[in-house]
Chain A
Amino acid sequence: MKLRGLLSTAFAIAFGLIVLLGYFLEFQPFYGLRLIFVEWAVILAGFAVLVGLGNLVTVHIKKIRAREKGGFYGLLLIFSLLMTFLAGLAWGPEHPNMVLLFRTVQFPVEASLMALLTVSLAYASVRMLRRRLNLFSVVFLGTVLVILLGTASLPLLGDVPFVGDWVRPFVSQVIAGAGARGILIGVALGTLTTGLRVLLGADRPYGGK
């Protein structure tokens, strides 16, 4: 392993173990150290966001230079990015002008994209049984119908009796709750094993190889 790889692995193991031990040991030096280390990680996370932005700009600049199709959109993206970035730096993100920009552009576009999902999901759900007809698909779709029906109110009648006050709560809170608990425990176990592999140096996703 190269020295740089060794350094990376040593960083991951040393900083990670000290932070992890802080959860379990009431040892004052650990407490202070882990705060410092986490603080550093937070700062680095900020740098990582900047790296991501830089990469986004680089990709679109290359697109524009290569005169690829859609270069105009790339130009628009870079222009709006730089303008917003500079305005945000100057005023601060909490400035009323920035909030107005957010309400004018980001909020409507993103909410509209989410709204489009209603049509896409409905279409996909309708087609689902045609593509895959088996027990689990039927159970899945039946559950969706029960939950949606139990959530809605009928015109002039109000909430749907039995489905709304018994079936839906039982399905969503007991059966789905049990399934969700199993998934959560599975996720926790997966996090535990993956995290320990990183902390023991078995996995080096940071490029240590």
Chain B
Amino acid sequence: MAEIRCPMCGKPNPEERETCSFCQARLKPLTAPPPAASTIRAGEEPLKKPTSDLERAALGGGESIPAGQEPTKKNTAELEQALPAWLRSLRQGEEDKAAEELAAESADETGLPLPSAAQPAPEEGLPDWLAGLGAQAQEEEEELPDWLAGIRGKIGAETGIPASEEPITHPLVGAETLDRLEGEGSAPPAYEIASGRMEAEIGGPQPSGGEEELPDWLSKLEETGPAEAAPEAAAPAFGESLPDWLSGAGEAAPAEAAPEAAAPAFVMGAEEELPPESAAPVFAMETPDWLSSLRPAEGQTPSAERAGESQAGMAEEEIAPAELPSWVQAMRPVEAVVSEVEIPTTEEEQMTESEGPLAGLRGVLPAVPGLGAVRKPPPYSIKLKVDEAQQRYAAYLEQLVKRENQPRRPTAPPKAGAANLLRWLIALFLFLVVGLPLAGGLRLDGVNQFLTPPDVAAASDVVSALPDNAPVLVAFDYQPALAGELEAAAGPLMQHLFYRGARLTCVSTHPMGPALAEHFVGRLAETQSFQPADRSLNLGYLAGGAAGVFDFLLDPLAYLPPPAEGVPDPRQSVPLSGVQELSDYALLVVLTDDAETGRIWVEQMTALGLRDEVPLVMVVSAQAEPMMRPYYDSHQMDGLVSGLAGARFYEQRVSLPLQTAAPYWSAFSLGLLLIVAILAVGGVWNAVHAWRSRQPAAEEKED
């Protein structure tokens, strides 16, 4: 005969007694009256019901357990023997009642056969009906492109998870699971939880039937959710940009899959990721009718779980462990089992003792013995989380990889022999065409019928307007490589300056500049019969680029060479006579082959407000002219001479004893004409060749 011990005095009592025969304390708590049908009477054997019936109910009939999974223990009588008899009877009664109520209610609302109990959360260990997912997902994984499978395998290796465990996070799993469960007539609530959580793990929900099937309010969610803040909120659009390997998932999900089932899953996925400020308006929207009718599901959404302790407790009651199949209970870890048993916390839920020494006290006896407030361990997902952007990048990568695998039409590189031959021919013609005029055979100059360009005319006008013997600052900012061009281009202007009696101060922001200045001024001095030292002073190199120019413009005399024995003081030299600061110069001439250097001079002159005090003229290489011309157009310089062409115009405008541009002009013109001919012929030839080679490629594509 079974006995129960009194919780107050500890003495044994017959099982059927309501109160202790020794101390009159209540032996059975008054949480709920046990239904008469399930009451275990004295002498009866404890429950020995096969719980597979419950299992079938949970799955909505049909197959009890998916293939490949061994049920653990369908007969839980042995396990239940460990429980006190009063608890066993109580539990059985609740199971039956809850199952009946839920089945009746849900069948009315959805028209689907409903389970008598909610399903366990997937992270608590896969029950049998979910166990097939792994195998199915593995099959799906085989359909994935190799490169993605490799990535996943690698991730699995890095995280310590074998790749085979990954499928639970695969987007296909959600769709396939839904499909299968739908076919089995599974209950929407359980289905929503499972799919929603899985979708949350992959960072976004899986659209089952495309965006058209979404309710309006979900479409609005997509529009209102900022893409950066909550990429998951824009998930419905995800269906449009699905990569190939994901688009199959969308197709795999049946179009007729109940939107009522899919929609809450979307909500869960989106809601979890939305920031509070963006989530608020979403839930302020009017709930559609179909959603509001799904009352059982509401209590199981994460939002309800977060709604507060009491609400959470009530929601958990609907998936109370007493409603689970016993074999599932047996599989679950103790902590998980314990945590799902709710202890009545409110006064209304606790009964007041009416008899015995505890009479008048409320909630003295726990409804379930030995339980405390044990929290369910939070599920930490160690699975791959892939958001929409990552999936898109993966798709791009896949396209790239595919493109790499496609055979390309090899573009035939030029043969070394042919390339060399072409190069030699060009060189030969150039040397001949340029060399002949230099040898004195041909002259093309003297037939320039065009007007002098305004920029060159302005430069010569500025020099002409200089007072006699004016101090002029000249910057030699070019490299030896272009000294030939610059000396030819600046020759007329420099001669003009000397002709006007200008006293030159030379500086350079290029280390070679001082030598170039010596070289250039020396050559001009030879032709004009003056001693360079009498008419020019070389201040040397200005280090630091723009900073050096800035420093020099603010205090040019600080750059004077130090006084030395036997050398006259430069401050007393002719070129610096009357010069104390930059504004004392009558003109600044910059000779440069580099637009960047020219820009520095113009910028610093303008920025320091010196443009109104000192005129600026530039002689630039032809390669720097396009970038310097805007400064002339904006009146930041007073004259511009560019290249040999500019010098030629200058020579024609100002009669000078030495011509530096004219001797080069014939060779220059012939060289340009030759290059024009080569470029025109060669360009057309190669363009036709390239166009022809494109034709077969285009035809291949069309085929």
- When distances are taken between beta carbons in the complex, the residues of chain A under 8 Å from B558 are 39
Instruction: Say yes or no for A126: interface residue by CB 8 A criterion.
Output: yes
Establish whether residues A153 and B669, one from each chain, have CB atoms under 8 Å apart when the complex forms. Answer: yes
- Residues in A117-157 with C-beta less than 8 Å from chain B: 118-119, 122-123, 125-131, 133, 138, 141, 144-145, 148-149, 151-157
- Within the assembled complex, what's the spacing in Å between the Cα atoms of A183 and B688? 33
Closest to A103 in B: B519
- When distances are taken between beta carbons in the complex, the residues of chain A under 8 Å from B522 are 99
Establish whether residues B679 and A133, one from each chain, have CB atoms under 8 Å apart when the complex forms. Answer: no
Establish whether residues B449 and A158, one from each chain, have CB atoms under 8 Å apart when the complex forms. Answer: yes
Instruction: Say yes or no for A172: interface residue by CB 8 A criterion.
Output: yes
- Within the assembled complex, what's the spacing in Å between the Cα atoms of A98 and B522? 14
Establish whether residues A151 and B514, one from each chain, have CB atoms under 8 Å apart when the complex forms. Answer: no
- When distances are taken between beta carbons in the complex, the residues of chain B under 8 Å from A118 are 430, 671, 675
**Residue-wise interface mask of B (111-150) relative to A, using a CB-CB cutoff of 8 A (1 in contact, 0 not):** 0000000000000000000000000000000000000000
Establish whether residues A169 and B453, one from each chain, have CB atoms under 8 Å apart when the complex forms. Answer: yes
Establish whether residues B683 and A45, one from each chain, have CB atoms under 8 Å apart when the complex forms. Answer: no
- Within the assembled complex, what's the spacing in Å between the Cα atoms of A172 and B450? 16
Least CB distance from A83 to B in Å reads: 16
Closest to A157 in B: B447
Establish whether residues B481 and A184, one from each chain, have CB atoms under 8 Å apart when the complex forms. Answer: no
Least CB distance from A201 to B in Å reads: 20
Query: Which of A39, A94, A184 touches B518 (beta carbons < 8 Å)?
Result: A94
Instruction: Say yes or no for A107: interface residue by CB 8 A criterion.
Output: yes
- Residues in B242-271 with C-beta less than 8 Å from chain A: none
Establish whether residues A151 and B430, one from each chain, have CB atoms under 8 Å apart when the complex forms. Answer: no
**Residue-wise interface mask of A (89-114) relative to B, using a CB-CB cutoff of 8 A (1 in contact, 0 not):** 00001100011001100110011011
- Within the assembled complex, what's the spacing in Å between the Cα atoms of A125 and B672? 14
Establish whether residues B481 and A158, one from each chain, have CB atoms under 8 Å apart when the complex forms. Answer: no
- Residues in A10-37 with C-beta less than 8 Å from chain B: 23, 35
Establish whether residues A45 and B545, one from each chain, have CB atoms under 8 Å apart when the complex forms. Answer: yes
Establish whether residues B426 and A123, one from each chain, have CB atoms under 8 Å apart when the complex forms. Answer: yes
Query: Which of B426, B625, B627, B673 touches A152 (beta carbons < 8 Å)?
Result: B673
Establish whether residues B665 and A153, one from each chain, have CB atoms under 8 Å apart when the complex forms. Answer: yes
- Within the assembled complex, what's the spacing in Å between the Cα atoms of A40 and B290? 77
Query: Which of B448, B480, B514, B694 touches A110 (beta carbons < 8 Å)?
Result: B480
- When distances are taken between beta carbons in the complex, the residues of chain B under 8 Å from A159 are 447-450
Closest to A46 in B: B543
Least CB distance from B644 to A in Å reads: 9
Instruction: Say yes or no for A181: interface residue by CB 8 A criterion.
Output: yes
Given A110-B479, A158-B448, A164-B450, A133–B426 Cβ distance below 8 Å? Answer: no
- Within the assembled complex, what's the spacing in Å between the Cα atoms of A28 and B614? 23
Least CB distance from B339 to A in Å reads: 47
Chain B at the A interface: SS class: helix
Given A110-B480, A157-B447, A99–B518 Cβ distance below 8 Å? Answer: yes
Establish whether residues B543 and A45, one from each chain, have CB atoms under 8 Å apart when the complex forms. Answer: yes
Query: Which of B447, B480, B625 touches A111 (beta carbons < 8 Å)?
Result: B480
Establish whether residues B480 and A122, one from each chain, have CB atoms under 8 Å apart when the complex forms. Answer: no
Establish whether residues B519 and A123, one from each chain, have CB atoms under 8 Å apart when the complex forms. Answer: no
Query: Which of A49, A127, A145, A156 touches B680 (beta carbons < 8 Å)?
Result: A145
- Within the assembled complex, what's the spacing in Å between the Cα atoms of A98 and B519? 11
Closest to B625 in A: A172
Establish whether residues A123 and B423, one from each chain, have CB atoms under 8 Å apart when the complex forms. Answer: yes
- Within the assembled complex, what's the spacing in Å between the Cα atoms of A157 and B515? 40
Establish whether residues B645 and A151, one from each chain, have CB atoms under 8 Å apart when the complex forms. Answer: yes
**Residue-wise interface mask of B (405-434) relative to A, using a CB-CB cutoff of 8 A (1 in contact, 0 not):** 000000000100001001100110010000
Instruction: Say yes or no for A41: interface residue by CB 8 A criterion.
Output: yes
- When distances are taken between beta carbons in the complex, the residues of chain B under 8 Å from A45 are 543-545, 547-548
**Residue-wise interface mask of B (491-522) relative to A, using a CB-CB cutoff of 8 A (1 in contact, 0 not):** 00000000000000000000110110011001
Closest to B593 in A: A114
Establish whether residues B676 and A152, one from each chain, have CB atoms under 8 Å apart when the complex forms. Answer: yes
Instruction: Say yes or no for A77: interface residue by CB 8 A criterion.
Output: no
Query: Which of A49, A127, A177 touches B630 (beta carbons < 8 Å)?
Result: A177
Instruction: Say yes or no for B91: interface residue by CB 8 A criterion.
Output: no
Chain A CB within 10 Å — which of B479, B511, B542 has the most?
Answer: B479
**Residue-wise interface mask of A (40-72) relative to B, using a CB-CB cutoff of 8 A (1 in contact, 0 not):** 011101100100000000000000000000000
- When distances are taken between beta carbons in the complex, the residues of chain B under 8 Å from A107 are 480, 483, 519
- Within the assembled complex, what's the spacing in Å between the Cα atoms of A126 and B515? 37
Given A155-B670, A164-B450, A125–B682 Cβ distance below 8 Å? Answer: yes
Number of interface residues of B (CB under 8 A): 71
Chain B CB within 10 Å — which of A138, A144, A158 has the most?
Answer: A158
Instruction: Say yes or no for B571: interface residue by CB 8 A criterion.
Output: no
- Within the assembled complex, what's the spacing in Å between the Cα atoms of A181 and B545? 22
Given A110-B480, A114-B481, A158-B447, A130–B547 Cβ distance below 8 Å? Answer: no
Chain B CB within 10 Å — which of A122, A138, A176 has the most?
Answer: A122
Instruction: Say yes or no for A7: interface residue by CB 8 A criterion.
Output: no
Establish whether residues B430 and A154, one from each chain, have CB atoms under 8 Å apart when the complex forms. Answer: no
Establish whether residues A151 and B481, one from each chain, have CB atoms under 8 Å apart when the complex forms. Answer: no
Instruction: Say yes or no for B12: interface residue by CB 8 A criterion.
Output: no
**Residue-wise interface mask of B (427-456) relative to A, using a CB-CB cutoff of 8 A (1 in contact, 0 not):** 100100000000000101101111101000
A-B contact pairs, 19 of them (CB 8 A): A23-B607, A38-B550, A41-B547, A42-B542, A99-B522, A118-B430, A118-B671, A123-B419, A126-B679, A126-B686, A127-B682, A129-B683, A130-B686, A154-B444, A158-B447, A159-B450, A177-B633, A181-B630, A184-B599
Considering the complex of A and B, which 5 residue pairs feature the smallest CB-CB distances, nearest first? A158-B447, A126-B682, A130-B686, A152-B672, A45-B544
Residues of B within 8 A of A (CB): 414, 419, 422-423, 426-427, 430, 442, 444-445, 447-451, 453, 479-484, 511-512, 514-515, 518-519, 522, 538, 540, 542-545, 547-548, 550-551, 554-555, 558, 599, 607, 625-627, 629-630, 633, 645, 665, 668-673, 675-676, 678-680, 682-683, 686-687, 689-691, 694
Residues of A within 8 A of B (CB): 23, 35, 38-39, 41-43, 45-46, 49, 93-94, 98-99, 102-103, 106-107, 110-111, 113-114, 118-119, 122-123, 125-131, 133, 138, 141, 144-145, 148-149, 151-159, 164-165, 169, 172-173, 176-177, 180-181, 183-184
Knowing that A125-B683, A153-B444, A181-B630 are A-B contacts, what are 20 other residue pairs whose CB atoms are under 8 Å apart, sorted by A's residue number? A23-B607, A45-B544, A45-B548, A99-B519, A106-B480, A111-B484, A119-B426, A123-B422, A125-B682, A129-B683, A129-B686, A129-B690, A130-B689, A133-B687, A145-B680, A155-B442, A155-B669, A158-B449, A172-B629, A177-B633
